[in-house]
Structure 1
Amino acid sequence: MAVLTPQRPAPGSGAPQRESRRIGFSQRLGRWDVKLSPYLYISPFFILFAVTGLFPLAYTAFVSVHEWSLLGGQGDFVGLENFTFVLAQPTFWKALVNTLSIFVFSSVPQVVIALIIAALLDQNLRAATFWRMGVLIPYVVAPVAVSMIFGRLFADQYGLINAMISAVGLDPIAWHGDRIASHVAIATMVNYRWMGYNALIFLAAMQAVPRDLYEAAVIDGAGRVRQFFSITVPQIRATIIFVVITSTIGGLQIFDEVRLFDSAGLGGPDQNWMTTVVYLYDLAWGDQRSLGKASAVAWMLFLLIVAIGLVNFLVTRRISSSGTAVKKSRRKSLTGGNA
């Protein structure tokens, strides 16, 4: 009976070379899969962002250097003429100051009070879920409803706020006549809507703080206030940076509350509470109907938001790095320099 023996490939047949090439290709494919697969997983977000974010931003820049009317469409190329026109308008500068004023009155108290609310909700409360969901209700309410309700509360003659002020013997406040008073009223609406939302973000960060730190602080005799400033705030510093930046972006783009604060919706007869976005809206859809000038305002607002956002980021990061350095120096001094 004949015995079958495996035949070796003839010299020069190329089978070992093909096998090695196949193995090498599989290895390269595996390496490329490891490197590229994470980017493929997150690519839908960036594709959607490019379509809905970057393209409108670039197209707005294109419109801002053209004479572009609402009815006639694209006109002649005018370069920076739209920007110079807007910068020469006193209304633009007044709207910009109003925007910054409302931003300060809204964002600063909003972050501080949201931190305090989150710290209270982080305690062992009865019906904690009820209270935590309750602070989110203002965020769910439609901005139109909030603006209409607060517009009645801050009415000059028949508003509830002025009625309460008159009841204690003080003079009523002209919420729609005084510039600063109108800013405070609009900022109150913004704080009402966003304070609970930011409080829940802070609460989620606080619940991630290790409880061992608080137990050690209690053993050392630290009170609640000391624990808040020495443990809670340093541990949620990254979340504070996030909330500050998002509050800055939202505060500089305020529109709904200002638009619905009065019947005309254009910042009052003297533009006392007209913001930059409302001024943009008036340029695009008002008497001028110039989309080119409105796009110039949009780009200047975008650059302002980026500049203030970078300043906030650098300042908060500096505070964060300085706090980390202080903690490292304290740890080193306690361990005698052997840490």
Structure 2
Amino acid sequence: MTAIAAPPRAPEQAPPPPRSPRVLSFSQRLSKWDLKLSPYLYISPFFLLFAITGLFPIAFTAVISFQEWDLVRGEGTFVGFDQYIWILQQPHFWTALRNTFSIFLLSSVPQLVAAVAIAALLDRNIRAKTFWRMGVLLPYVVAPVAVALIFSNLFADRFGLVNTLLGNVGIGPIPWHTDPFWSHIAIATMVNFRWTGYNTLILLAAMQAVNREYYEAATVDGAGAFRQFTSITLPSLKPTLIFVIITATIGGLQIFDEPRMYDQFGRGGAAQQWLTITLYLYDIGWGQWNFGRAAALAWILFLIILVIGLINLLVTRRLVRDDGRRGAISRTAARAARRRRKESA
């Protein structure tokens, strides 16, 4: 046998010389800094304006709430919690608190229910859907003062249109301005008229983001429209519902324009039938010229809104399931969608 010669070995290469460290020029450093810092510079105007027009007034109001403030000298005397104690001892405060919660419940609950129902209708394939979607937003564009003036005349006790129509069907006139409950109904109607369309469009945008394959699979499995709505749509609206409920809570507890313009005096009624906390705050600050007590009432209202908002958040998280993943129809729809994707592949 002849021996096979081994292939020649390649000559060993010398290791490459070490590279010298790269020196960045000033323009390259500036470009690197710009890439890192420019996003923060773009958003900084908002935070600067918020600090000036938001955080500073909040902090300054907290300081004033512990003082007997002198408007002439622009300074005050520290009195501790005396201003808060004075507010909590006033019968008008508890009347305003009761009226505020009454109007809030009569407006927010029907408003959210109506917004969800209207959004579900607009989410369907209907004719002229763009027209209807824009139409529900028109009441929000109307100035709140104009809405209050129109509705205060509609709900007038003697010559209002609502009482006139009720009289034509044999129903006696309703005391819209003298009875607390009916005055709350009238003011809540104004609030619902203005804000239902706004919340409807927010919920409609969330509904359109739901995967349509879930509905197709649920339809194949025999689920009706109501079952699809309760098992797919509502669970998928959890983040949006939390946002809408919290914003409705904040707006409902801070209601001012509608009760202010409900009559010609703007004092919450002769017997404080619709006196709200913001109306009472306005009267203390600009009627009695006591900014210390007004600041204390503002912070009490802030704490009330914070507590109610946290309660709403906890309740909403328990009632609305996570993103539609726990409903029976949602699980079935997901499995059917995965099956169809595998078959098509």
TM-score scaled by length of structure 2: 0.84
Which deviations, in whole Å up to 9, do the C-alpha atoms of 1:151-203 show, x marking residues without a partner?
00100001111112222222211010100111110000000000001101111
Alignment of 1:45-56 (within 5 A): 45-56=46-57
Alpha-carbon distance change, 179 to 17 in structure 1, aligned in 2, over 3 angstroms: farther
Matched with 1:73 is 74
Tell me the residue number matched to 2:315: 315
Per-residue CA distance 1:19-46 (angstroms, 9 max, x = gap): 64847x9999999877766544433322
Residues in 2 aligned to 1:135 and 1:322: alpha-carbon distance in whole angstroms:
29
For the residue of structure 1 that corresponds to 2:283, the secondary structure is helix
SS at match of 1:209: coil
Residue 119 of structure 1 corresponds to: 120
Unaligned runs of 5+ in 1: 1-15
What SS is found at the alignment partner of 2:125? coil
> For residues 155-174 of structure 1, what are the structure 2 equivalents within 5 Å?
155-174=156-175
Report Cα offsets for 1:109-162 as digits up to 9, x if no partner: 111100111111111121111111111110000011100000001000011111
1:88 aligns with 2:101: no
Report if aligned partners of 1:65, 1:82 keep a CA contact under 8 Å in 2.
yes
Q: Describe the superposition over 1:232-269 as per-residue Cα deviations: whole angstroms up to 9, x where unpaired.
A: 11112111111000000100100000000011101001
Change (3 A) 1:69 1:279: farther
2:124 partner SS? coil
Q: Distance in 2 between matches of 1:72 and 1:181?
A: 45
Cα distance change on mapping 1:230 and 1:27 into 2, 3 Å:
farther
Aligned to 1:185: 186
In the alignment, structure 2 segments of 5+ residues that lack a partner are: 1-16, 336-345
Q: Quick check: 1:70–1:284 contact (8 Å CA) kept in 2?
A: no
Residue 206 of structure 2 contacts residue 237 of structure 2 at CA under 8 Å; is this kept in 1?
yes
Change (3 A) 1:145 1:226: same
Distance 1:193 1:271, change over 3 A: same
Counterparts of residues 142-157 of structure 1 (less than 5 Å): 142-157=143-158
2:311 aligned partner, one-letter code: V
Instruction: Map 1:207-286 to 2 at 5 A.
Output: 207-286=208-287
**Which 10-residue stretch deviates more, 27-36 or 46-55?**
27-36
Counterpart secondary structure, 1:58: helix
Residues 301/18 of structure 1: CA separation in 2 closer, same or farther (3 Å cut): farther
Q: What is the CA–CA distance in structure 2 between the aligned matches of 1:320 and 1:122, rounded to whole Å?
A: 20
Distance 1:264 1:229 in 2: 46
1:69–1:289 Cα contact (<8 Å) kept: no
User: For residue 307 of structure 2, what is the amino acid of its counterpart?
Assistant: A
Rounded to whole Å, the distance in 1 between the matches of 2:122 and 2:322 is: 29
Share of identical aligned residues, percent?
61
Task: Please tell me the residue identity of whatever aligns with 1:302.
Answer: F
TM-align CA RMSD: 3.0
The amino acid that maps onto 1:237 is: K
Deviation at 1:84, TM superposition (A): 0.8
The 3 A distance-change label for structure 1 pair 171 and 40 is: same
User: Judging changes above 3 Å, is the alpha-carbon distance between structure 1 residues 139 and 248 closer, same or farther for their aligned structure 2 residues?
Assistant: same
- What residue number does 1:10 align with? none
- Residue 75 of structure 1: SS of its match in structure 2? strand
Pick which of 241-250 and 29-38 moved more: 29-38
2: CA distance between counterparts of 1:223 and 1:270? 51
Query: Quick one: distance in 1 between partners of 2:131 and 2:249?
Result: 29
Match of 1:134 in 2: 135
Amino acid at match of 1:193: R
> What is the distance in 2 between the residues matched to 1:88 and 1:37?
53
Separation (CA, whole Å) in 2 of partners of 1:202 and 1:61: 36
Matched residue, 1:300: 300
Whole-Å Cα distance in 1 between the matches of residues 70 and 175 of structure 2? 38
- Which digits, 9 at most, give the CA deviation of each residue in 1:301-321, with x for residues without a partner? 011111111111122123345
CA distance in 2, matches of 1:281, 1:123: 45
Going from structure 1 to structure 2, the CA distance change for 1:238 and 1:209 (only over 3 Å counts) comes to same
Q: Secondary structure at the match of 2:269?
A: coil
For residue 6 of structure 1, what is the aligned residue in structure 2? Answer: none
